[in-house]
Structure 1
Amino acid sequence: MAIGWIVFLLLVNNSGTLGNYHDCNVSQRCMKDINIFLWDLNQDEPKEYATLMYDSFGKMGSSVKDGNVNQPGSLQQCRSAIGPGFSAQYCQVFLKQGAIQYFVGICLPDSCREQDVERIVQCDGLQFNQRSLLSPLPPILTNQSYQDIIMTHCLADAVTLDASSVACMCVCCVMLAIPLAATLLRALRRSDPSRMVSPTEHISLSNFYGTLKSNGLSGNEVNGQTLQENGRINPVAEDISQSCLSSCFRAFALQTTSKGVFSTLPSVQSDKYASLNGIRVLSLLWIICGHSAQFPVINNLDNYKTWRKAVQSSPTYVLTISGPVFLAVDTFLLLGGLLSARSLLSSINKAEDHLSLGLVANYLFKRIKRIQPLHLFTMCLTVSLISLVQWGPYWFPFVETLMDCKAYWWANVLLISNLLPVHEICIPWTWYLSLDFQCYATTPLLVYIYRFKRSVFAIVVGSLLVISTVTSAAITACLHLPVFQPSTITTDNYVLYYYVKPYTRYGPFLIGILTGIHLTTKKGQLLKEKWQAALGWFCCLSMMSLLIGLAYLLKETPAYPSVAHALYQGLHRPVWALAVSWIILACEEGYGGFIKTFLSFGVWVPLSNISFACYLVHPIFIILYNGLQETPIHYTDINFMYLFFGHLVLTLVVGCALTVLIEKPYLFLKDKSI
């Protein structure tokens, strides 16, 4: 038997071979199965499984100079091959050759572990007909023929779940089951014709809308009966406790949460700020378009250099580049500051012009109740999907996100994820929620100073704007940060020290607070003449155009401290916020013209109602699409246009569902009902 095995190895070494497998220190089972595969491949009529495995290996394509360096092979074809005594598994070898980093997909027996694969590649032991199945890129393309191994990874054929993944799936199921159950319960109760409206339900309806008074009776007296009598709880008290549960079910039912979401008319409270709906939706579309174009660029494009050259040379790509496109985030910060100031001042007026610690605590709690349920649901949903999906060759960015969530989920709960290093943020796009809440928490202090003494308020606001501007400029100069670069999002220093930090992004939010205070407390028109409005519009549109145009002039990353880059980085965000605040002010004072008409279209209202859910969920569709690809994406304008519209439609549908199932119920719950 031993002699037969030796003869078999000698025959294999004449055609296909594992090479010096003793030096490779490969496991005996892996070595045996690979040699069987190579033997069957070298027959006059190769076996079908061997042909499939060989054909699944990644091979060099054209346009390497344009960025087509990865060689993914065929994952599904590899997995479909079944050999004698083994199945095929798809593995990736990550290599570095000169300045180029790339991966090659290979198809090996499942008896080979990742350590075996790495050892085989290291000793160049995978050869067929005296040719390596992992041939290096031609030196003419890289100026170097030697390959360095970075890592190897084999993609599992089956999904494996750990405790954290199961816990996240349970959380998602429970959060979805509650509103669905409440909807069914309410539908059943309404369908009962014999059911009469009881005093209990009447009380619960009153409690749901924020009062316990009914028919002139006080909150502890109903139909002449007190809630507490002779030290014992009256049955009416039990009815009221049941009414709290009933109001909770009512708040979670779709019959309640869906009301107003699809309306094309703004609510009474927001009617004065109808232009905000259009601004919010257009900013959201800008962000989705940018993400749809940029996420594939990180690792999925086969012509990255063509894309980079196109977007850096023409302003027509302003919707997809990572310089001006993220001005939409500053627009959101401006709107957040405006609405936070308006909300707090409204609460102060209802509290008879008294700003107390209790009012501030309630103000912050309402914000947490507004963002955290859907935020945490999205985090759990992302972890669940990443755990359940069988990823393709472009898996690595998403698995890293999963590992970050398992280690740093607490930062999302505490809303401090933007303070962590960029490579530790769970669900990277949720950094904005942490930044927004941190800025939101400063509004009560600024409003207090404003009410205390206007001169002190002016000094504080001016100092904060100067500090934010100078800090941004200094960080840009010291770290030589770019202001325009399609791959900016992958630059660690840019994100780590500048992009997500409150001390560099506070300017737009602060300008939003000032705008909100002015619009809420103004006594008369600020704009009294048409020439003032015309001058304002000219300055506004000129500054917006200048900010976008300057990004193209400063597109090169500086190799030294650059004054121009520092000034742009320090000033462009607050200047953009000032321009948008002018648009809002002009629309509110009757000088908006056709721009106000456009921004106030009824179609923006339902889209604005679901914008928060759309922001949170849209990257999930982009990640799923990119991660399930088995071949690279080829950049063309038409391809990316279809990607954007495809992601947008899915985002709107799921965003609408999550708004009524997850977001709205917690907004309808009163503090006493929680």
Structure 2
Amino acid sequence: MCSSETCRGMKRFSSADTVVFWWYICCCWLLPAVYGTNFASSLMKMQWKLPKLFKYDDFDECRKGNPRFQYCIVQAVIRPNESSDIWHNISLLSANPLNFPHDHLERGICLHDCLRRVFPVEQLEIDQMEILASNDELRLDYLSRCVNMELEASHQLQTSASILHCLSEENFLSSFGLADQCFLGMVIALVLLVGVATVRDCKGSDSKYDQLIQPFSLPHNINKLLNTAKSDGSLPHLEGLRALFMLVIILVHSSLPFIRMPLNNPEDMESQTNHLTFPIWNSGNTHMITFFFALGGMVLAVSFLSQIERSPTVDFRFLLKKLLNRLARLVPAYAFVIFYQATLFKRTKQRPHAARFNDYCSEYWWTNLLFINNYVHLDEPCMKFGWYLGADFQLFLIGMAIMTLIWKFPKTKKACIGVVVFVSFWVPGYVIYVEKLDATMMFSMRHALTELREYDFFEKFYTPGHINAGSYFFGMIAGNLYHHISQNKLHSSAELYLSKVLYVFLTVLFFLNGFLVMLPSIPQKKPSLFLSIYGSALKAIFGIGHGILFLYFGFKTNSMSVAFLQHPILRVMGRLSYSIYIVQYAVIYTIYSNMSIPTTYSGFNLIFVTSAVLFMSFLSGAILHLVVEVPCATVLKKAIDGKLDIGSRKISKKLL
């Protein structure tokens, strides 16, 4: 049920507001996430004559009843053959970066079956499997023969083959190491703690240890999660926006791995990436993360100014307390998921194609916990999506320093705003020019197949904190404006002004983003001043737009859109968004790693997989939120505030 205020807002909604809201959400964000329509392309008609990009023997049949089985993934690069028309078609398709490299074939081969194709049955001995298991060169020779026999018979072509990896029974017999046992022990201890806390809470027990135990009570945390009677802050609609954009993020992330899967119909995906409007949707996906940076900046500014009003003292203790409170909320759940990624996660991926979804948390977990993973080991990431948390934390520290400077020296406010606006435009443009980058992330199938790990734009422009500072700064400016307007009771004039500004923003966004359709056809020699200016403006408009959107809905109290954003369901989803974000990596890659291959890229499969990802992400995220994030943050924050007592004994004098 909605509150009386919410219901009244829904009755007095403005159709214009609703159109603006849904135009922005659907056209700018949801369409890129669900965009899956297959478009015809005359270039694709030749593909039925070409060798299949992906061909896999049945893995389960290979393993069944064969303890000496070996199943290998082989990459076969077609050798040029100028006398072959098929080779010319392969070259033509491969030259387009929007297509798969059609000269690189992938084969999943059961070695036992391969040997039967190479040798007569009477010559095949069981001992040969054991010999091949220890002789990589001989094994590659036999696998190459199998691939070339097939390709020569079907297309009169030859390949140079290499083994990507092989699976044998040994991969399924590995024992639990010390780290795995520690994680399992921690999970068991956590389950017991939650069980004890739940029982004691239901019985109404009052013990000197309850301040440590009671935060882990499941009913207590569920009630806390579902209690939406009071706002979490002065901008409850931000939780709704956070929830909606988190849904879009998961939809996008859950569909992207299809690119890296062995497909029966890669031509259908290519027809999509070759469509005229694809650069627009790709830009939406690329700049979607600016929403969360802008949101973080606005929340920081509003929270800082609100706390200053209650206690107008900014010193080292105040700043350290804010930092520790943030770490108390972020680190426990993050560390728990990283520990899982470094231990048991690898045991969920025991299919031939699972190696393409490698994770490096067992080696580089420390880059995440130090929040530097957006700069360090980007090519071998622990929790690939975790780069955002590193960048956001770095910008939080910078934002705190700026807000403190403005508060200590009010006369510097205009100068600080001028500097951050200049930096927001200049830094991205400078990096594009100096590093000779494109104006925005341009889609390339080869980069997508390697998860962007070899793409300069991703490493030098997409993930660094200093490049994303502009979006964070625009959010901070929006937060300061919100506080100023609220303090001076300028709501009515702000509402009218922001409505006009939002329409102007949508128009500018339409033209800037729409220009991407023509950009690939415009030759630009790098470094290019034009690309530098255009790329900087394109990135900035998204950050500015999100700030305008936050303000617009912050002062529109009598509209259906705001009432919708403040709905209890969305606010609950918003509270779960952090835990959902950090578990989605494991959920998505576990599902894809265990799919049957080759799979078919289709609307039905896309909906099926994304639905499974959404369900499992929300379920896992809710459990993580209730069992780890909330209770650990509660205990740690009590310790930080010096309120953690055990009976008559204080565990801690005030830490700060």
TM-score (norm. length: structure 2): 0.75
Matched residues in 1 for 2:574 and 2:259: separation?
A: 29
- Please state if 1:507 is matched with 2:485: no
* Bigger shift: residues 467-476 or 653-662: 467-476
Matches within 5 A, 1:182-197: 182-188=194-200, 190-191=202-203
- Please state if 1:577 is matched with 2:558: no
Counterpart of 1:102 in 2: which secondary structure?
strand
**Residue 145 (structure 1) shift:** 2.4
Question: Which of 366, 381, 385 matches 1:410?
Answer: 366
- Please state if 1:300 is matched with 2:262: yes
CA offsets, 1:251-299, max 9 Å, x none?
Answer: 1221322223134x363342x3122122111111111111122112024
Matched residues in 2 for 1:389 and 1:557: separation?
A: 46
- Please state if 1:88 is matched with 2:69: yes
- Please state if 1:605 is matched with 2:571: yes
Matched residues in 1 for 2:188 and 2:546: separation?
A: 37
Question: Which of 374, 389, 409 matches 2:348?
Answer: 389
Match of 1:101 in 2: 104
Question: Which of 383, 395, 402 matches 1:427?
Answer: 383
Match of 1:616 in 2: 582
Counterpart of 1:483 in 2: which secondary structure?
coil
- Please state if 1:253 is matched with 2:181: no
CA offsets, 1:239-260, max 9 Å, x none?
Answer: xxxx3x3201011221322223
Matched residues in 2 for 1:668 and 1:605: separation?
A: 20
Asked whether the equivalents of residues 90 and 108 of structure 1 are also in contact (C-alpha less than 8 Å), the reply is yes
Match of 1:497 in 2: 460
Question: Which of 154, 177, 186 matches 2:189?
Answer: 177
Asked whether the equivalents of residues 298 and 475 of structure 2 are also in contact (C-alpha less than 8 Å), the reply is yes
Distance 1:494 1:383, change over 3 A: same
Matches within 5 A, 1:464-483: 464-477=420-433, 478-481=435-438, 482-483=440-441
Matched residues in 2 for 1:510 and 1:248: separation?
A: 38
- Please state if 1:363 is matched with 2:322: yes
- Please state if 1:447 is matched with 2:403: yes
- Please state if 1:516 is matched with 2:497: no
Matches within 5 A, 1:525-544: 525=490, 528=493, 532-544=497-509
* Bigger shift: residues 599-608 or 428-437: 599-608
Counterpart of 2:56 in 1: which secondary structure?
coil
Matched residues in 2 for 1:133 and 1:95: separation?
A: 8
Counterpart of 2:55 in 1: which secondary structure?
coil
Q: Residue type matched to 1:79 in 2?
A: R
Q: Residue type matched to 1:503 in 2?
A: H
Match of 1:167 in 2: 179
**Residue 558 (structure 1) shift:** 6.8
Distance 1:371 1:552, change over 3 A: farther
**Residue 420 (structure 1) shift:** 1.1
Matches within 5 A, 1:36-435: 63=47, 68-82=52-66, 87-98=68-79, 100-108=103-111, 110-114=129-133, 116-122=135-141, 124=142, 132=146, 134-135=148-149, 137=151, 145-149=158-162, 151-159=164-172, 161=174, 166-168=178-180, 170-171=182-183, 173-175=185-187, 177-178=189-190, 180-188=192-200, 190-191=202-203, 201=207, 243=208, 245-263=209-227, 265=228, 267-270=230-233, 272-313=234-275, 321-350=281-310, 352-399=311-358, 401=359, 404-435=360-391
Q: Residue type matched to 2:76 in 1?
A: L
Larger Cα Rg: Structure 1 or Structure 2?
Answer: 1
Q: Residue type matched to 2:437 in 1?
A: H
Counterpart of 1:104 in 2: which secondary structure?
strand
Distance 1:311 1:525, change over 3 A: farther
Asked whether the equivalents of residues 579 and 621 of structure 2 are also in contact (C-alpha less than 8 Å), the reply is yes
Counterpart of 2:345 in 1: which secondary structure?
helix
CA offsets, 1:113-134, max 9 Å, x none?
Answer: 5552442433x5886xxxx465
**Residue 175 (structure 1) shift:** 4.9
**Residue 398 (structure 1) shift:** 2.6
Matched residues in 2 for 1:65 and 1:480: separation?
A: 37
**Runs of at least 5 residues in structure 1 that lack an aligned partner in the other structure:** 1-61, 202-242
CA offsets, 1:320-342, max 9 Å, x none?
Answer: x5431243311111111111222
Matched residues in 1 for 2:296 and 2:306: separation?
A: 15
Matches within 5 A, 1:632-647: 632-647=598-613
* Bigger shift: residues 563-572 or 291-300: 563-572
Distance 1:465 1:598, change over 3 A: same
Matched residues in 1 for 2:397 and 2:140: separation?
A: 55
Asked whether the equivalents of residues 421 and 496 of structure 1 are also in contact (C-alpha less than 8 Å), the reply is no
**Runs of at least 5 residues in structure 2 that lack an aligned partner in the other structure:** 1-45, 80-100, 113-128, 645-651
Asked whether the equivalents of residues 554 and 565 of structure 1 are also in contact (C-alpha less than 8 Å), the reply is no
Matched residues in 2 for 1:169 and 1:92: separation?
A: 31
Matched residues in 1 for 2:274 and 2:572: separation?
A: 35
Distance 1:553 1:661, change over 3 A: farther
Counterpart of 2:105 in 1: which secondary structure?
strand
**Higher relative contact order, structure no. (Cα contacts within 8 Å, ≥ 6 residues apart):** 2
Matched residues in 1 for 2:594 and 2:620: separation?
A: 19
Asked whether the equivalents of residues 302 and 633 of structure 1 are also in contact (C-alpha less than 8 Å), the reply is yes
* Bigger shift: residues 387-396 or 427-436: 387-396
Distance 1:506 1:288, change over 3 A: same
Q: Structure 1 vs Structure 2: percent identity of aligned residues?
A: 17
Q: Residue type matched to 1:411 in 2?
A: T
* Bigger shift: residues 291-300 or 275-284: 291-300
Counterpart of 1:631 in 2: which secondary structure?
coil
Q: Residue type matched to 2:325 in 1?
A: K
**Residue 379 (structure 1) shift:** 1.3
The number of aligned residues is 547
CA offsets, 1:373-410, max 9 Å, x none?
Answer: 111111122233432125222122233x1xx2222111
Matched residues in 2 for 1:137 and 1:323: separation?
A: 39
Distance 1:97 1:125, change over 3 A: closer
- Please state if 1:463 is matched with 2:419: yes
